[in-house]
Amino acid sequence: QVQLQESGPGLLKPSETLSLTCTVSGVSTSTYYWNWIRQPPGKGPEWIGYIYYSVSTRYNPSLKSRVTISIDTSKNQFSLRLRSVTAADTAVYYCARAGGYNYHFDSWGPGTLVTVSS
């Protein structure tokens, strides 16, 4: 049974860098595609990007200039960094698993709310 859990600061100031970690249990992060998805309050989800092993990453073009996703398979974790945040980055951030490239998201973490406010 795969489980995912997001962790990281819940409050940031504008221009700071958002850093979140997703800890995975029940399956190795050496397999599958590992995604970050966010959902602003009252809106639909937005896909941020994925990482596959250490082989490939893919990002949403709308965020690509500010995003980095990395992975630490020894800790069974993957991480999100989003630079130069603004209030528009306030959202619940989810990590999620996909079975492959062009695949649905079959397991999600519970999500963590990140608020950007001065």
Partner 1 sequence: EIVLTQSPATLSLSPGERATLSCGASQSVPSRYLAWYQQKPGLAPRLFIYDASTRATGIPDRFSGSGSGTDFTLTISRLEPEDFAVYYCQQYGSSPYSFGQGTKLEIK
Q: Footprint of partner 1 on this chain (CB under 8 A)?
A: 43-47, 58, 60-62, 94, 96, 98, 102-106, 108-111
N-terminal to C-terminal alpha carbon distance within the chain: 40
Characterize the bridge pairing of strands 11-12 and 112-116: parallel
Q: In whole angstroms, how close is the CB of 24 to partner 1 at the nearest point?
A: 15
Q: How far is the CB of 111 from partner 1 (least distance, A)?
A: 5
DSSP state of 64: T
Residue 84's identity, in one-letter code, is: S
Q: Which is nearer to partner 1, 13 or 55 (CB)?
A: 55
**Minimal distance, residue 60 CB to partner 1, in Å:** 4
Task: Give the residue with the Cβ less far from partner 1, 44 or 117.
Answer: 44
Contact between 35 and 106 (Cβ < 8 Å)? no
- Token digits for 16? 């700071």
Nearer to partner 1, 78 or 94 (CB): 94
